[in-house]
Structure 1
Amino acid sequence: MRHFDLSPLYRSTVGFDRLFSMLDNAGNESNTGYPPYNIELTGDNAYRITMAVAGFAEDDLSIESKEQILVVKGDKQVEEEEEGRILHRGIAARAFERRFQLADHVEVRGASLKNGLLHIDLVREIPEAMKPRKIEIRNANEADKQIEATAA
């Protein structure tokens, strides 16, 4: 992939720092595909990330949300098998770190681990001040009458 030098744009723009840093980091991510995950739309403003983390316990996983980045880490402590030797290890138990860029006003509501699947529930809550609102259109003649009545 080609690398683009965005430094000239930093000098001539204001307020786009986050956008440029996202573009810079897009090429730097090592996307190993582990662990696999799904992103689902569960409602109008509700989302769910489901990650396949077979073999990991709740204590082996950590979820952190900071500055619109959701970081899911897994670090399994490998225990020695007492009863027998493992002849083939097909269930991955390697450490991982998966990052998700969250949109504005998206908050993590909770997480659960069930049957080897980690479910992270997200909700987008737009503040009232940013929601669209309807502006009433008044008749110009009525507005003039109200102005004349207050002036008299």
Structure 2
Amino acid sequence: MVMSDLAPILAEPVAELPVAGAYAFETKWDGFRCLLHRADDGTIRLQSRRGTSLTTAFSDIAEAAERDFPEEILLDGEVVIWHDGRLDFGRLQRRLNRKAATVRREIAQSPAHYVTGVRAGSSGLSAGVIDGSQQVEDLCSGCHTVV
């Protein structure tokens, strides 16, 4: 699986609403849309909606995924940071284009969280979007931390 060929599922404008049942709703998070991929060789990559690597900036999420996801997987979700009881987009931005030591300090102060409800693909599953809420719950049931 080549990450550059993939893009997260994004909202698209439409002229009129589709027929009932032909669409889904998703909460709008104040974060960065992000694909999380664990390759079959164990390599973890976090990729923004524009294809930029977010792996270094959110190494706390990458480390949790490396530890908790034993097989190849692709998740479509959002990286968020909670601070003082709310989402804090500014703290997300402070992680970008920083040296590793600065990122580690930011992680200690404000760990990031990966929010997903769609399991976009995995070993043994056909490519494409899968109704994933139960699969993601099953996947994360054995995690050391909630990713």
Same fold (TM over 0.5): no
TM-score bin, normalised by smaller chain: under 0.3
Task: Pick the structure with more strand per residue.
Answer: 1
Larger Rg: 1
